[in-house]
């Protein structure tokens, strides 16, 4: 018996593919979401700066410009529906030289053209009063209250979980190896499945050009642009209140100082053209460049406060705009070249793609009922009374797995039940391993819990998928134990 015909197969479960799958789950459709990595969001999305831009950074004549402000406005209800962390902290783009002032004027003009209210030119005195740690060399700046911060990996997990709750089939570990069109149907092949679908959405990020080529759709090339980010100790959590931007360059918004949703300060990214699309290395030269640029904005920043560093590679295309639309192959839709402000625009991109599908013949009937997902527990953010009540009800919340971030066994087990299968999957869902010791205390506890909850050997637990094993079997095939820290 042939596989049942799907309405849409979405390739790629980063923030864009996840948002598209979630948007389509609102309708009476059969949807499959494919991801080549072991978990959703493990490509570029996990290394995103986590900024929901204010809408005034892109010109109105670009697709980016049209989708950025629309997307910005969709994040509040999305956060309310899915329960991930989100905060409108605002931003300051600051000028350090007279030649920078034209860039500030351009930002104001963009805001006026898009009818974005409350974007203002601020004086040196206003900036220094709002942000005492900003350089005294600042001349002027543009303030926007609309900029927000979010944990991008939390958003991806929430979108995928909500999509699955509304009948979307999610297949991780499923790289696409074949795409063939016959009649009015696409056959999509992975190492473990063969799917049939009316439409295919190519939201494969860095792999989008390769997927298009498999489908017989040429015409664009993905160019990698690597960005290194540096996360600082939580003791600096009140160093700045707003996202601090320099005046932008032609290829980047520059090196930023970012107060993340969880309280840590992050500085970065770089913007380095790379030939290897899988290059996620951090470098001494990148670190030096990031801190040299960041100290121009906030002089007190120091490399001594780094607790973690990482890099992600953005998928850029010629022209540097988004490529979203149908192709010469019937039913095959590209969603490619989604670099900044892709995270900001993601909910708008999803609606834009849904409209393309509708205009190309897909019937869109609203679901009569949408299943809601429960918000995950963040024990550290609860009141003392709420913590006591939860611990009295479930003993797992009495046991601390990660001391740096005060993560409990209950949270880790819940994250596994929600789909975490790796150490990094737990880290991104619970913050276990994100603190000062970077997993020195909690990694063994997380290993044991993944092994016991998933019913697998310790040697089958990985950090982030195949090739990242943490425990190896002995030559005789037996698996050694680990000396777990006491989680009490």
Return d(Cα 434, Cα 426) in angstroms, integer: 10
Q: Is the pLDDT of residue 1 over 60?
A: no
- Is pLDDT of 481 > 80? no
pLDDT in the model for residue 249: 72
pLDDT in tens, 374-389: 989 999 999 999 999 9
> Cβ-count burial of 392 within 10 angstroms (0-12 exposed, 13-18 middle, 19+ buried)?
exposed
Mean pLDDT of all residues in 420-435? 93
- pLDDT above 90: residue 478: no
CATH number 2.40.160.10 is the correct assignment for the domain at 1-86+148-220+317-375? no
Q: Of 237, 234, 224, 254, which is closest to residue 53 (Cα–Cα)?
A: 254
Q: Is 57 a catalytic residue?
A: no
Write out pLDDT tens, residues 130-140.
999 999 999 99
Domain residue ranges in the chain: 1-86+148-220+317-375, 91-145+223-314, 380-460
Asked if pLDDT for residue 20 goes beyond 90, the answer is: yes
Looking at the structure, give the CATH architecture of the domain made up of residues 91-145+223-314: 2-Layer Sandwich (3.30)
* Predicted pLDDT at 488: 47
Say what the pTM is: 0.94
CA 290 to chain centre: 21
Say which of 53, 56, 57, 146 is annotated catalytic. 53
- Amino acid 483: pLDDT: 53
Q: Which range, of 7-16, 77-86, 350-359, averages the lowest pLDDT?
A: 77-86
| Mean pLDDT confidence for 49-64 | 94
Instruction: Tell me what pLDDT residue 216 has.
Output: 95
Identify the pLDDT of residue 334.
Answer: 98
Calculate the average pLDDT of the chain. Answer: 94
pLDDT 10s digits, 408-417: 999 999 999 9
At 174-202, the pLDDT tens digits run 999 999 999 999 999 999 999 999 999 99
- 167: which DSSP letter? T
CATH of domain 380-460: 1.10.10.1100
Q: Coil, strand or helix: which one is 278?
A: coil
**pLDDT tens track for 322-363:** 999 999 999 999 999 999 999 999 999 999 999 999 999 999
- DSSP H stretches of helix in 313-465: 342-359, 384-393, 409-417, 423-430, 443-454
Candidates 258, 291, 220, 261; CA nearest to 92 is: 258
- Residue 219 has a pLDDT of 80
């Amino acid at each position: 018996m042939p596989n049942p015909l799907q309405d849409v197969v979405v390739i790629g479960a980063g923030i864009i593919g996840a948002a598209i799958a979630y948007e389509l789950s609102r309708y009476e459709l059969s949807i499959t979401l494919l991801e080549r990595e072991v978990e959703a969001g493990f490509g570029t999305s996990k290394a995103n700066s986590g900024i929901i831009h204010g809408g005034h950074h892109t010109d109105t004549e670009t697709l980016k410009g049209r989708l950025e402000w629309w997307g910005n406005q969709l994040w509040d209800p999305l956060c309310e529906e899915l329960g991930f962390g989100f905060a409108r902290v605002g931003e300051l783009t600051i000028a350090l030289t007279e030649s920078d002032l034209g860039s500030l004027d351009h930002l104001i003009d963009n805001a006026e053209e898009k009818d974005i209210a409350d974007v203002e030119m601020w004086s040196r005195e206003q900036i220094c009063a709002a942000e005492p740690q900003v350089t005294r060399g600042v001349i002027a700046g543009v303030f926007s209250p609309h900029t927000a911060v979010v944990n991008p990996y939390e958003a991806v997990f929430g979108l995928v979980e909500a999509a699955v709750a509304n009948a979307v089939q999610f297949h991780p570990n499923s790289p696409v190896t074949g795409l063939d069109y016959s009649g009015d149907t696409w056959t999509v092949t992975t190492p473990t499945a063969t799917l049939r679908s009316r439409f295919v959405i190519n939201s494969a990020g860095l792999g989008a050009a390769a997927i298009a080529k498999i489908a017989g759709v040429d015409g664009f090339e993905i160019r990698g642009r690597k960005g290194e980010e540096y996360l600082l100790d939580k003791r600096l959590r009140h160093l700045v209140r707003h996202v601090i931007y320099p005046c932008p360059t032609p290829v980047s918004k520059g090196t930023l100082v970012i107060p993340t949703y969880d309280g840590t300060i992050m500085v970065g990214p770089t913007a380095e053209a790379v030939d290897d699309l899988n290059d996620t290395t951090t470098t001494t030269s990148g670190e030096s460049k990031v801190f040299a640029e960041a100290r121009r904005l906030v002089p007190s920043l120091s490399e001594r406060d780094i607790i973690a560093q990482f890099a992600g590679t953005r998928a850029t295309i010629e022209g540097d705009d988004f490529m979203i639309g149908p192709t010469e192959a019937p039913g095959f839709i590209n969603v490619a070249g989604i670099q900044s402000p892709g995270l900001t625009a993601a909910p708008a991109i999803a609606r834009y793609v849904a409209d393309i599908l509708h205009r190309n013949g897909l019937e869109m009937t609203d679901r009569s009922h949408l299943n809601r997902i429960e918000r995950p527990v963040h024990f550290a953010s609860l009141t003392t009374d709420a913590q006591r009540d939860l611990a009295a009800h479930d003993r797992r919340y009495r046991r601390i797995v990660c001391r740096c971030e005060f993560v409990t066994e209950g949270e880790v087990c819940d994250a596994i039940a929600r789909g975490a299968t790796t150490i990094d999957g737990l880290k991104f869902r619970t913050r276990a391993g994100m603190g000062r010791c970077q997993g020195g205390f909690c990694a063994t506890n997380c290993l044991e819990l993944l092994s016991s909850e998933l019913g697998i050997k310790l040697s089958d637990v990985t950090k982030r998928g195949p090739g990242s094993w943490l425990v190896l079997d002995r030559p005789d095939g037996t698996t050694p134990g680990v000396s777990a820290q006491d989680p009490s």
